[in-house]
Structure 1
Amino acid sequence: MTEKNLPPIQSLDQINSPTYRLAALDQDFLLSEDMRGVRFLLEYSKAELALKRAGVLSTLVVFGGARVRENGPGKEAHWYAEARKFGRLASERGGALHGPDKQCKNVIATGGGPGCMEAANRGAIEVGAPSIGFNITLPHEQFPNAYTTPALTFNFHYFAMRKMHLAMRANGLVVFPGGFGTLDELFEILTLRQTRKAPLVPIVLFDEAYWRSIINFDKLVEHRTIDAADLTLFRYADTAEAAWEALVEQGFGRAHDESAPDVVQKDI
């Protein structure tokens, strides 16, 4: 900087004041409580624009426990293996590989973490398909798994905005065994379907014995907190192949086309 471009000494206090910073470059301002709405908009827009640039027309969402290990005890290894297999076969059959004009449908999308999410992303990548990870910042740092497409790996601060992106383009949902986070995502989509805030989204719960042991859906009907017809909003499956067939039986691949994501976005 030449001497003639230096600010006058008498202006240094003004220049160094936080109020003089450009708003877009003022981190203290952007992270303030008053700018929460702006941060919501930024989290929505950044992922939305990246997905559009990548030609992602719709997704096939896979939820499941982050604590499930590939060589874990009990049924963990089976859950991981079947989630991985499902990621492969769904990517091969669902349109993630063969879209026109570099556009793709039914791209595997997960929460981007380890466990069942990693397995589904891994299966997709192994057949050369794109793979989406919607990560979230947590007090105990969660890193993205190694099987999401780098340009389709996102990081969110707000659970609400992350769940919105998971739901917006979803043409189907497969839920592997998991804990609170998995249940949260499952009931988010079930509620959107039950209240007709989203069009038909086929839902499959993987490992019927697991789900029946932790949630007694029939008791909800018995206590009249849901209708018996609400039990038709989802199916059970015990293998990756059966999960795919259950999606198709519910209309996956027939009831959705390129316009479907726009319909969902308008309602959510």
Structure 2
Amino acid sequence: MDNGKPSNATHLAAPSYRLAALDQDFLLGDSMRGVRFQLEYAKAEESLRIWGVRSTIVVFGSARVRENGPGRHPYWYGEARAFGAIASQRGGALTENGGVRDNVIATGGGPGIMEAANRGASDVGAPSIGFNITLPHEQEPNPYSTPDLTFRFHYFAMRKMHLAMRANALVVFPGGFGTLDELFEILTLRQTGKAPPLPIVLFDKAYWQSVIKFDALLEHGMVSAEDRKLVHFAENAEDTWATLVENGLLVPAPQ
């Protein structure tokens, strides 16, 4: 007590007295889930705007592919790397057109195909994006995405939104459950008109036809002929770029 007044130390130490913005227990509580969702949107959005990223080319593919792995792994890795370089050189990622960059390579930020595409951009001095996700078995960012454009998300939904919202094109290399999830997310957005027209190219036709029977979906009436046309195939990095351009990839005019 001081001059007969009780101490307010308990009040000062009470969780309720903390500034809301500095109260981690409060921010991580159930009632703040919507705010955390908004924060994940805003943080990445601010950095992307600072870097002038107007549009992206999204590259999906397995985190399990290795540069010196078995079977076709080295080929897939090498072509993803080559594509990252080609797209960055020709698509506008290197050109600051009034502070705007187009067709910047964007991946899930992890190893494998994601690493290869980011690495290709890095090879030619272009920025690239890594949209990482917090997982039970922690995924670390690969060392080739641009540090200022390397993000980490808790919510898959917000990560997917950032992957989709600036996409001018989608290139999907061989992958598993995660790759399929991301592929069909974009295909559904395109089918339903929730995403603007953008070319979708699957790399290595033999792999994809062994995994997904697209023509069977058409034969059974589960998709329309127009839906089936949303998917294209390519066999190498140059072919992938050409297929994107032939099917409407927006490339800024040379300055």
Q: TM-score, normalised by structure 2?
A: 0.95
Q: 2:19 matched to which residue of 1?
A: 22
Q: 1:225 aligns with which of 222, 225, 246?
A: 222
Please give the alpha-carbon distance, in whole angstroms, between the structure 2 residues aligned to 1:94 and 1:234. 21
Residues 169-180 of structure 1: matches in 2 within 5 Å? 169-180=166-177
What percent identity do the matched residue pairs reach? 67
Q: 2:135 aligns with which of 133, 138, 143?
A: 138
Q: TM-score, normalised by structure 1?
A: 0.91
Task: Summarize deviations over 1:219-245 as a string: whole Å, max 9, x none.
Answer: 111221111221111200010000001
Please give the alpha-carbon distance, in whole angstroms, between the structure 2 residues aligned to 1:217 and 1:103. 37
Please give the alpha-carbon distance, in whole angstroms, between the structure 1 residues aligned to 2:93 and 2:34. 33
Amino acid at match of 2:12: I
Q: Runs (4+) of structure 1 moved beyond 6 Å?
A: none
How far did 1:99 drift?
2.8
Structure 1 unaligned spans of 5+: 1-7, 258-268
Determine whether 1:61 maps to 2:58: yes
Q: 2:188 matched to which residue of 1?
A: 191
Structure 2 unaligned spans of 5+: none
Decide which structure has greater helix share. Answer: 1
Q: 1:104 matched to which residue of 2?
A: 101
* 1:243 partner SS: helix
Q: What's the C-alpha RMSD, in Å, of the aligned pairs?
A: 1.5
How far did 1:156 drift?
0.1
Determine whether 1:80 maps to 2:66: no
Determine whether 1:92 maps to 2:89: yes
How far did 1:253 drift?
2.0
Q: 2:10 aligns with which of 4, 13, 28?
A: 13
CA 1:29–1:230 in 2, change beyond 3 Å: closer, same or farther? same
Q: 1:162 matched to which residue of 2?
A: 159
* 2:122 partner SS: helix
Q: 2:238 aligns with which of 234, 241, 264?
A: 241
Q: Tell me the matched-pair count.
A: 250
How far did 1:201 drift?
1.0
